[in-house]
Structure 1
Amino acid sequence: MKKALKVLMVEDDPNICELVQLYVEKEGYQFITRYQGEKGMEAYYEEDPDFVILDIMLPEVSGWEICKEIRRDNPLVPIIMLTGKGESYDKIRGLELGADDYVVKPFDPNELIARMKAVMRRANLLDATKEKIELNSLTIDMKQYKVYLDGEEVVMPPKELELLYFFASNRNQVFTRQQLLDHIWGYDFDGDSRTIDVHVKRIREKLNTDSLKWSLKTIRGVGYKFEECPNR
């Protein structure tokens, strides 16, 4: 018998937790909830969940801090952030820390379930096409979900790695921000296109070296291109 997917929700509003629990369990998933940040972190390590839903504003430890800690421990477990503010800063910061998606309160539980399935579906699609790309001193290993530069591992959250892999798989092609959002985050993602700028900036910072024979170029007014530079 297939093991039920285990979902951990860290949210300080019991009413929201109870409502989400009804929908999550209806999908056949196991539901675990904690109302405080510190308790949420303890549950993460004790329960080893397959999916995490994090509120940003939590007692003791914020959702942002929990997200950072989870990503240090496991770069692959899907994370959806909940924000009551709906401000671009909250959304971008959550995605920058490694969250896969976000939902703004108040939300329809059906939307949350749909976004959870979208995140899982994209992960499954990646499972079917994992490969290794080697470019000069850069190696992108999708089987292990790891990036290496000059033989040293460069730690990247899933979305940064997936974006880099997509660029490297489509060298010398120009993509708009919306095209990149569609390919990496999915067509149902309605977030800010600045999400792409944040991820590109972090990729550049982590792989900043003059020895590379490629560059991640900004095409003004359009988007980005992964360009090979054989003369370097």
Structure 2
Amino acid sequence: MQARILLADDDAHIREVVSVLLTSEGYDVQTAADGNEALQLFKNVQTNACYDEAHNQPYAFFDLIILDVLMPGLSGLEVCKYIREQSNTPVLFLTARSQDADKVRGFTVGGDDYLPKPFSAVEMLARVKALLRRYHRYGGSPIQENRTKLMVGDITIDVSGRRIFGPAGAIALTDFEFSVLLLLAQNKDKIFSAREIYEAVWNEPFLEQSANNVMVHIRNLRRKLGDNPQNPRYIRTVWGRGYTIG
């Protein structure tokens, strides 16, 4: 079956070049000039989605979605966040920026891969084929499957429901607390600096006082999780570098 791809970028030249490239490889490509148009196309095909009995869930018409991060109206990050609530269709981000914080932000909202501009045709096709192969083989990437339910020790994170549960039951977290915990849990053993956490979760430029904001949320998370800062089971501080889980 011909793979169907949604491509959204506000640069008409990039849309044309990538569309021709993918079409020449046999893919069916639909394009959108901004985030609002991309989301509308996604919603339209969702109404005609089929049901995947093997994975007990509906799946979208599109096999892959390619989103420019910075677009008029809704950004690619906002579009991806909505899509991830509805579907496990893989998302590839295109961006002119390649900073680690931008990559972390993209992965946090549910992106699967990240391709900085300018990119070569060979690299684009390699990323597309890898995502499609993984999606068709597993019905979604391993990262996506793990997003549904994550375990950190005896803590269970319900990603789609944005809830967590400990041995004694549900644990109430604020939205920012949950996002910080999810960022660390989805990247076990990776050390995040306060700057990386702040820019990924708060989606704002890091200022001098931002480090205190992150520190307060980490402290509150530890308290609610029953974690001892002197001998943590969950969130560890790596002095001079940041925070990690694992």
- State the TM-score, normalized to the length of structure 2: 0.57
**Aligned-pair CA distance for 1:120:** 4.8
**Aligned-pair CA distance for 1:146:** 8.9
Residue 79 of structure 1 contacts residue 99 of structure 1 at CA under 8 Å; is this kept in 2?
Answer: yes
- 1:214 aligned counterpart, secondary structure: coil
Residue 23 of structure 1 contacts residue 110 of structure 1 at CA under 8 Å; is this kept in 2?
Answer: no
CA 1:61/1:139 → structure 2, altered by over 3 Å: closer, same or farther?
closer
Residue 176 of structure 1 contacts residue 222 of structure 1 at CA under 8 Å; is this kept in 2?
Answer: no
**Aligned-pair CA distance for 1:10:** 0.7
CA deviation map 1:80-114 (0-9, x unaligned):
22222445554443333332222222211221222
2:165 aligned to which of 149, 161, 181: 149
Percent identity reads 29
CA deviation map 1:9-53 (0-9, x unaligned):
111223322221233234443211111221111001112322211
Structure 1, unmatched stretches of 5+, are: 168-174, 178-192, 228-232
- How many pairs does the alignment contain? 194
Kindly indicate whether residue 142 of structure 2 is the aligned counterpart of residue 126 of structure 1.
Answer: yes
Residue 9 of structure 1 contacts residue 17 of structure 1 at CA under 8 Å; is this kept in 2?
Answer: yes
CA 1:225/1:85 → structure 2, altered by over 3 Å: closer, same or farther?
closer
Kindly indicate whether residue 156 of structure 2 is the aligned counterpart of residue 139 of structure 1.
Answer: yes
2:81 aligned to which of 42, 64, 68: 68
Q: Find the aligned partners of 2:236 and 2:152 in 1 and give their Cα distance.
A: 19
Residue 80 of structure 1 contacts residue 101 of structure 1 at CA under 8 Å; is this kept in 2?
Answer: yes
Kindly indicate whether residue 25 of structure 2 is the aligned counterpart of residue 6 of structure 1.
Answer: no
1:93 aligned to which of 105, 120, 124: 105
CA deviation map 1:184-229 (0-9, x unaligned):
xxxxxxxxx87xx549x96x869652336831313346887646xx
CA deviation map 1:126-163 (0-9, x unaligned):
39x97985843x23689x99974245599989xx58x7
Q: Find the aligned partners of 1:88 and 1:51 in 2 and give their Cα distance.
A: 23
> Which residue identity does 1:149 align to in structure 2?
F
- 1:72 aligned counterpart, secondary structure: helix
> Which residue identity does 2:66 align to in structure 1?
I
Q: Find the aligned partners of 1:70 and 1:99 in 2 and give their Cα distance.
A: 10
Q: Find the aligned partners of 2:44 and 2:156 in 1 and give their Cα distance.
A: 34
Residue 91 of structure 2 contacts residue 113 of structure 2 at CA under 8 Å; is this kept in 1?
Answer: yes
**Aligned-pair CA distance for 1:8:** 0.7
Kindly indicate whether residue 135 of structure 2 is the aligned counterpart of residue 117 of structure 1.
Answer: no
Residue 24 of structure 1 contacts residue 31 of structure 1 at CA under 8 Å; is this kept in 2?
Answer: yes
1:102 aligned to which of 114, 120, 132: 114
Residue 19 of structure 1 contacts residue 109 of structure 1 at CA under 8 Å; is this kept in 2?
Answer: no
Question: 1:219 matched to which residue of 2?
Answer: 238
- State the TM-score, normalized to the length of structure 1: 0.59
Residue 83 of structure 1 contacts residue 90 of structure 1 at CA under 8 Å; is this kept in 2?
Answer: no
2:34 aligned to which of 33, 36, 39: 36
Question: 2:15 matched to which residue of 1?
Answer: 17
Residue 24 of structure 1 contacts residue 113 of structure 1 at CA under 8 Å; is this kept in 2?
Answer: yes
CA 1:82/1:139 → structure 2, altered by over 3 Å: closer, same or farther?
same
Structure 2, unmatched stretches of 5+, are: 46-59, 202-216
Residue 10 of structure 1 contacts residue 54 of structure 1 at CA under 8 Å; is this kept in 2?
Answer: yes
> Which residue identity does 1:80 align to in structure 2?
L
CA 1:226/1:68 → structure 2, altered by over 3 Å: closer, same or farther?
closer
Q: Find the aligned partners of 2:91 and 2:98 in 1 and give their Cα distance.
A: 17
